Structure 1
Amino acid sequence: MPAAPAVEAKSSWGRVAVDGTVFVRTAEGDEREIGNWAAGTPAEGLAFYQTRFDGLRTKVDLLERRLRSDQGGKDAAATLAELRGAITDAHAIGDLAALLGRLDALEQLAEQRRAARKEARAKELVEAAERKEHIVAEAESLAESGQWKSTGERLRALVEEWKAVPRLDRKADDELWNRFATARSAFAKRRKAHFAELDSEREAARARKEELVEQAEELAAQPITQPTDWAENAQGFRDLMASWKKAGHAQRDVEDKLWVRFKAAQDGFFAARNADLDRRDTGFKENLARKEELLVEAKAVLPVTDLKAAKSALRAVQERWEDVGPVPRDAKSRIEGQLRDVERAVADAEQAEWQRTNPEARARAEATVRQLEASLEKFETELNKAKAAGNARKAADAEAAISARREWLEQAQSALAEFTR
């Protein structure tokens, strides 16, 4: 069969003529030639050019979705310009004017998005500037801190905070960063100087403590020739310990090693001393038993009724006490304290006796009695005169004076009686 004759294909927005010429209808109703189709029938050509239009519309749809979801990005303007050019000169059949109209609306939306981003960026920069100013101010406040560890950690944290804050314009960002770096540098220099000084002090402490260790080891090795050497060398170790405490601290590992040597010398000395004193204490037990007997003898003078006899007996005890010799250390304070109690009681009795027999005190007591007796006699005379004269007021005053002086006289006579026992 012969092929069917070609038929023009057309739609509302364009057509493909029988000879393959392709036309698109403009918004004004005119036709614009956009190509020539020779690859098939006019209907196939129409479908092809409509597919091109669909592709352009898809791109507009995609851009619209991106802009409405605020994901258009900085390239939205370029994409819009590219699409506008592609649609204006498009070799496609469809409502190109409608697509251009949509682009107009999208350009307005893109401009709104750009303005919003610009405003957000401006706000972000203000907030970033404030945050960085706070970071710098805090760093500057920490520059003079002596809390080396915590301040160092905080400054490192501030660096991380700085990195998380958006950059400002170059000049502003550089100025703030320079202040920040200056504060950190000042702290770092002070910390370095501090630890350098600390290292120097530790080195001095190490040298001093090495000297003390050598002295302690020499002292521990000294031979003991007299019992008093123990006390002298013990005081020497106490002096060395006081110097050790004042010497400061060396490096921890060095300090520990030096302390082990110092403590070994000290412990060795005191162990030897205690062992020697324990041996001596064994020989002192007999002395303790003898002093216990003398203490019973001394306590027998209490209470003191005969001062002369008590003093004589105590003196005899004291003379033998010293001849007995030392007692064990743990009993010394107890036994010596009990003897001192007896000595104190006898001394108190002697003091009381002296006061009782003091001639001057007795004379004063006698004079007081005589003065009160004379005063009492005087007021009794005044009382008799007042009664005879019928003067009740003077009589009452005289009776009050007499009563008081009789009481005083009794006290004075009692005090005087102490001197006549």
Structure 2
Amino acid sequence: MSSDPWGRVDEQGNVYVRTAEGEHLVGSWQAGSPEEALAYFERKYQGLEAEIGLLEHRVRKTDLAAKDAQTALEHLRQQVVEAHAVGDLASLAQRLDTLSGEIESRQAERKAARTKAQEDARTAKENLVAEAERLAESTQWREAGDRLRALVDTWKSLPRLDRKSDDELWHRFSHARSVFSKHRKAHFATLDAERESARAAKERLVAEAEALSDSTDWGDTAAAYRDLMARWKAAGRAQRDAEEELWARFRGAQDVFFQARAAAFSERDAEQGENQKLKEALLVEAEAILPVTDLKAAKAALRDISERWEAIGHVPRDARPKLDGRLNAVERAIREAEDAEWKRSNPEAKARAAGMTGLLQAAVDKLQADLDKARAAGNASKVAKLESELAGRRALLDQAQKSLQEFSG
């Protein structure tokens, strides 16, 4: 007799497997040794174990359908129950029980996933419908139209719901698209009418622009063209082809006028450039008057220069401030010289200056005499006070004497 932990062979060659419930006959062996008999039935056990392992892998690692997995499991369970094998049959049964629970759990998960997918699809389609209904009232024709087309593609990618729900949502979705399409067609019909009106208005503006193109009334005509441009912008846009053709004519008429004006202004600018050179030469002559040494001669020279200045005429606009500024500086210098001369020759002012100088001189002489007496008496405090007063009066006297000298200059 031969045995191992999971089975034995008796003297008659009967092979038994040991289980928790006791021994069970699994077969007989007459062709060889008991050890060979046990090895044979152990290999049958290993075969069952391998099949169970394969099923575990398929359940846990692949997308094997729950129904197919359960069928395979029941087949293996029957094989384990009826097994003609030696080994830990209880562990195989336990693995199958565990796997059965996993299959049931997987089946429940997939059912929940399908339910969730349907709910997600319902929510997604309801959101699509809600967005489509909002877009139905949009006037952003290009953006809304593109978005509605994208929503259709998204709808097609979603799973179908039950027929009633799917049909109801699709009806609302389709209706929203129809409303938008109707509004867009109406808008563009109105737009076409407005563009036709704009075309007629712009044809009239072109006729006016062309009638003005040969005018030489530069200021008023330029203003008229500005008005025409404002009216052109206010008229709106015509159809593209008409807009381009009308604009070419309108712009062409403007170009004829403004090119003619530019030529005239160029001629005027050349003349004003020569005037600038003449005035710059006069400025050299005017600035040579300074500094003023003979007021009468300076004033006569400036009058002559001013008369010739006015006779020359206009200079370029951008040169005008600098030229005028230089001439004004000469005029200002002569006025200042004239004011200074008046101050020097004003007898009333000279008399006031002389009187003030005399009073200050008398005050200085008196303070000097008092100071000499205080020094002689040795009165130090009075000396200090008188010296301070004398210094202040002498400063005033110096200023008065300078003012008086100006009248004698």
**TM-score of the superposed pair, with normalisation by structure 1:** 0.52
Unaligned 5+ segments in structure 1 are 1-67, 81-97, 99-109
Cα distance change, pair 416–153 in 1 and its aligned pair in 2 (3 A): farther
Q: 2: CA distance between counterparts of 1:134 and 1:125?
A: 14
8 Å Cα contact 2:214-2:256 kept in structure 1 = no
Aligned to 1:332: 316
Deviation at 1:214, TM superposition (A): 1.7
Deviation at 1:173, TM superposition (A): 3.8
Deviation at 1:133, TM superposition (A): 3.2
Q: Deviations over 1:361-390 (max 9, x none)?
A: 969x969x78x969x98xx89x98x99999
Compute the RMSD of aligned alpha carbons: 6.1
Give the counterpart of 1:266 among 243, 254, 262: 254
Give the counterpart of 2:208 among 199, 212, 215: 215
Q: 1: CA distance between counterparts of 2:180 and 2:64?
A: 45
Deviation at 1:262, TM superposition (A): 1.7
Give the counterpart of 1:158 among 128, 151, 155: 151
Q: Deviations over 1:305-337 (max 9, x none)?
A: 5454334323323323444456xxxx6347655
Are positions 1:132 and 2:120 aligned together?
Answer: no
8 Å Cα contact 1:205-1:247 kept in structure 2 = yes
Deviation at 1:132, TM superposition (A): 1.9
Q: Deviations over 1:380-405 (max 9, x none)?
A: 89x98x9999998x999999899889
Aligned to 1:13: none
Deviation at 1:126, TM superposition (A): 0.9
Unaligned 5+ segments in structure 2 are 1-58, 72-81, 83-102
SS of residue paired to 1:250: coil
Partner amino acid for 2:257?
Answer: F
Q: 2: CA distance between counterparts of 1:243 and 1:163?
A: 50
Aligned to 1:40: none
Q: 2: CA distance between counterparts of 1:177 and 1:362?
A: 108
Q: 2: CA distance between counterparts of 1:323 and 1:420?
A: 41
Aligned to 2:5: none
Q: 1: CA distance between counterparts of 2:404 and 2:190?
A: 80
Give the counterpart of 2:238 among 228, 245, 250: 250
Deviation at 1:261, TM superposition (A): 0.9
Partner amino acid for 1:352?
Answer: E
Deviation at 1:240, TM superposition (A): 3.4
Percentage of matched positions with identical amino acids:
50
Q: 2: CA distance between counterparts of 1:366 and 1:185?
A: 104
Give the counterpart of 1:318 among 306, 310, 314: 306
Cα distance change, pair 118–291 in 1 and its aligned pair in 2 (3 A): closer
Q: 2: CA distance between counterparts of 1:248 and 1:419?
A: 79
Q: 2: CA distance between counterparts of 1:266 and 1:311?
A: 51
Aligned to 2:327: 343
8 Å Cα contact 1:298-1:339 kept in structure 2 = no
Cα distance change, pair 281–138 in 1 and its aligned pair in 2 (3 A): closer
Deviation at 1:246, TM superposition (A): 4.9
Deviation at 1:257, TM superposition (A): 1.4
**TM-score of the superposed pair, with normalisation by structure 2:** 0.53
8 Å Cα contact 1:314-1:343 kept in structure 2 = no
8 Å Cα contact 2:206-2:250 kept in structure 1 = yes
Cα distance change, pair 416–113 in 1 and its aligned pair in 2 (3 A): same
Q: 2: CA distance between counterparts of 1:245 and 1:273?
A: 24
